[in-house]
Amino acid sequence: MHPAARPFWLILILLVLWDIAIRLFKIPPYLIPPPLAVVKQLFSEWPMLLREMMPTLWATLGGFAASAIIGVPIAMWIAYSRLVESFVYPLLVFSQSVPKVAIAPLFVVWFGFGIVPKVIAAFLLGFFPVVVSTVQGFKSVEPDVIDLARSMGANGFKIFLKFRLPHALPAIFSGLKVSVTLAVVGAVVGEFVGSNSGIGFVLQRATGTFDLPLMFAALVVLSMMGVVLFLIVELVERWLMPWHASQRHDVQQAMA
């Protein structure tokens, strides 16, 4: 079996098990809808779901881009300065202990009902993984390697470009892959508290009318969006890091 086909087989098996469990335990459709009803709803409401997916997608991309653009430089700042780490790092950890659902209504009060509150919510959920992974990546560079580069006459910029950044890239992309999936969640959280469009709004409307097939169909769309964004980040990672051990292993498997 080709590795790319395995997830589809797993999804098919889970759908079959889902249908069997509903029939076996006689679960009423107002609790858990049968998979066929969800699939029918997904196809019948696909134009609406696709239209509502776009605001969520833009909010996700905006929050993720802000997480990367702001998170990576702050992580470098923390990694290179113990003083900054002692002040900023505990503050970042403290900020993550604050429930985003609790403070999301404040963003609506401050910035209105547009896309800005959703972008901020996506940014807040995606920011921390980028910072933590990037700090770990830059701190994991062996001091002996840096000393060797300096003894050979390399300046600070060359050391960063040739040694520090390539060594930290795997950790940076690990944080980015986590961040992009959390940004989807953050965008939906922003839509829950104040929006008249987006998949989060569809979920709220489906919950209010007890339309469980529509709710599950919206969750499928969200999952698909998260998977596609994750795969895009992974493709960029493979393009930028063909030299990394994990990528060489994938190439060997493809050639086998």
Q: For the chain, what is the domain count? A: 1
Question: H or E segment at 113?
Answer: none
HSE-up (13 A, CA, CB side) for residue 253: 10
Compute the average pLDDT of residues 101-116.
75
For residue 8, tell me if it sits in a domain: no
For residue 49, tell me if it sits in a domain: yes
- Worst-scoring range by mean pLDDT, 15-24, 41-50, 85-94? 85-94
- CA–CA distance from 186 to each of 57, 85, 86, 134 (Å)? 11, 26, 28, 21
For residue 3, tell me if it sits in a domain: no
Compute the average pLDDT of residues 215-226.
90
For residue 120, tell me if it sits in a domain: yes
Residue 77 token pair: 């700042």
For residue 9, tell me if it sits in a domain: no
Q: What's the domain range around 67?
A: 22-255
Distance CA 21, CA 25 (A): 6
Distance CA 255, CA 227 (A): 25
* Alpha-helix residue ranges (DSSP H) falling in the chain: 6-25, 35-44, 46-80, 82-96, 100-111, 116-139, 143-151, 156-159, 165-193, 199-208, 212-240, 245-255
C-alpha dihedral sign at 187, 111, 78, 168 = positive
CB contact set of 39 (below 8 Å; sequence gap of 6+): none
Residue 210 token pair: 């007890």
Residue 148 token pair: 């060797």
Give the model's pLDDT for residue 69: 93
Give the model's pLDDT for residue 1: 57
**Strand, helix or coil at 3?**
helix
* pLDDT above 60 (res 34): yes
Task: Say which CATH number the domain at 64 has.
Answer: 1.10.3720.10
For residue 15, tell me if it sits in a domain: no
The string of DSSP letters for 17-37 reads: HHHHHHHHHT--TTTS--HHH
Cα 206 off chain centre by = 24
For residue 1, tell me if it sits in a domain: no
Give the model's pLDDT for residue 251: 46
- 255: confidence class by pLDDT, cuts 50, 70, 90: very low
What is the tens place of the pLDDT at every residue in 51-74? 989 999 999 999 999 999 998 898
Closest to 220 (Cα-Cα) out of 100, 41, 47, 58: 41
Cα 253 off chain centre by = 27
Q: What is the dihedral of CA 141, 145, 149, 152, to 10 degrees?
A: 180
Task: Check residues 94 and 199 and name the one with the higher pLDDT.
Answer: 199
Give the model's pLDDT for residue 230: 92
For residue 212, tell me if it sits in a domain: yes
Closest to 34 (Cα-Cα) out of 24, 22, 42: 22
